[in-house]
Amino acid sequence: MLFFSLSRIATTLLLFLVASAAASAEETMSINGTQLKVTTDYGRDVVIFNNDCGTQTLSRQQLLQGAIPSDLVPCPRSGQATQAPPAYSPDTSGTRWGAVAAGVDGWMVGAGTALQMNSETEARNSALASCRSTGIASCKVQGTFTGCGYISISTRGSDPSWGMGPTPSDAYDACYSRLVHGNCKAAIGGCN
């Protein structure tokens, strides 16, 4: 889940609405700790976000519907500090299983996870169901685990990718290493 400054986005939208006489306006903002240069182009009715990770243009309508420049956030990608996984504490009642699944249908990428399952088969089936609930029919189990497992997927269907690993950072890095363009979403998953 991305956290961002609603007041900063609201400010950008307000600039959109009240500065109709100007051709464009520039400002700097931070979304989820990522610095972005923001240019509002009133003539085209768009906001252009850019930083070291690239450029993304969003329409006023997209911003009003809550869109953020997910191709650019987070940035920088390598060496980025990520939230540590919860401390692993063994389940004393028996082994618990988890699984991650991902799939691509055309331009869409989906992922699903399962945790705290009683068997590997139950974990696999639950992760597949979770992935398929995103609307992706081609989901496949990418891995199972008894400790921790995470998966990250690309934010852009034109460059479908995913990566998995025992920590959110490992999953994100595995996803990003396969990309040509775009960015990867924050990893989902957890520990059994």
The pLDDT tens digits for 147-167 are: 899 999 886 666 678 888 888
pTM (predicted TM-score): 0.53
Each domain of the chain, given as residue ranges in start order, spans 6-64, 97-191
pLDDT, tens digit (0-9, with 9 covering 90-100), for 102-120:
988 877 888 999 999 999 9
CA distance linking residue 61 with residue 24, whole number of Å: 17
